[in-house]
Structure 1
Amino acid sequence: MRLRRLLPALGLLAWTGCAAAQEAAPPRDAAGPWELALDGSFRRCGLMLSAEAGPVGQALRFPAGCRRALPVVNGLAGWRQDGELIQLLDREGQPVLAFAGVEGEGPRNAESLGGERYSLAQGGVRPPAPEAPLVTHAALSTLPTPREALRDGPAIAPATAASVTGLYALDRFVEKDVCRVMLRAESAQVQENCRDPGLALFDPTAWHYEAGRLVLVARRGHSVELIPVGEGRWRRDPEIGTTFVLRRVE
């Protein structure tokens, strides 16, 4: 009889213990690869939030090209996690951007002191592409010669990703066809005898096509974006980094 009276109380204690354990569950460890993006633009940067101690907080790593693509990273020296909050820190250990936790796997959001809004997405979860013109004003700052304009025709973006696949030659400002890269349905591969150290070091292994832009993804996860400048030709936006052209070849 006494045992029967104790059973409801024991059940209540067990439920209370489970609820307390759930409330006390530690937040997910944020260490790992992330992608920082400036909202309303195509500017993105791959960040590595390291578990190692850094000059302030924990170590933060990113490719050198990020300094130009997203100038905000020039002031970053580390990161820390406070519960579900991820803070990117300056050299004094003060937060430059603070990203609150979100439900599910969607990107986090933060606003800088200057009013710019940024998204932080984890491991391949990309923020939605902004609605923007296919060719930006900055991309037109380097005007083509009359011969190039006649050759290229209007910069019309391909209708589908399938029409982007093929073999491309890389042209620099002076040198032409210094490297070739094959874009297949689900992969990218630099071809043998590549004479361009920049592309060889970048080592693209994947690509995707979104909002009229061709995005090459490096083996280490960072990316570069190109805009259409003619039939079968893509140019890296000068606003984001050093200009080069990918030209489709047979």
Structure 2
Amino acid sequence: MTHLRVGAWTIVAALVAVTAPAQAQDATTLKKDMVGQWELSTTERSKTCVVTLKGDAAGHASKLELEPACKTALPFTKDITAWSVKGLDIVRLQDATGESVIDFTEVEAGIFEGLRQGEGVYILQNLAAARSMAKSMDQMIGDWAMVRGNGEPVCTLVLTNTEAGPDNFQVFLKSKCDAAITQFNPTQWRLERGQIILMSKAGEAWQFEADDNAQWRRVPDTADPLIMLRQ
């Protein structure tokens, strides 16, 4: 039995020896990749600020700069004085005592999410990519036709940039619509992670994703899909 125990611990030790350098490298790579300009925002960018993460040491963390508008747009940022990588994949914006103000984890390439209890989810995204997304969102504003997979028109709707609550915008049905659309009756929309999200007063949500033909198809796909086309 003693030999079995020794053998087991030998295997565990060997695994630790093999995996530890790789894990350390992951954290080191993440820290290196995070240096640069980032946009900190609410989920749909109704409130934004620019954060510059630096490679210079600040005690056990690294230095950063917040643009002056941050404290007004996102009041909790007034407590942020430095940043660090915790564990393998947590990007921490921390206060002067080293305590977390908000922790982020990567949910997509270059996009990190963090939750503040009682406030909601915030996004940390590469600044250039975030501004490209903003441009994309501007291109969403205007008239859209909704059609079936066979091309049959079922509705015309208007996506606006008029705010309708946190991170959402107003949408209007412009013409007489198919019964299913009228019953759903979308009143708000947002662009989230590459999807157009339509939301009803009842809280129901429909998601549309862009396909290879520059159309937006409702997902999950069905035998009789709904497609949104820019007018």
Task: Choose between structure 1 and 2: higher strand proportion.
Answer: 2
User: With structure 1 as the length reference, what TM-score do the two structures score?
Assistant: 0.41
User: With structure 2 as the length reference, what TM-score do the two structures score?
Assistant: 0.44
Q: Which has the higher contact order (CA 8 A, sep 6+)?
A: 1
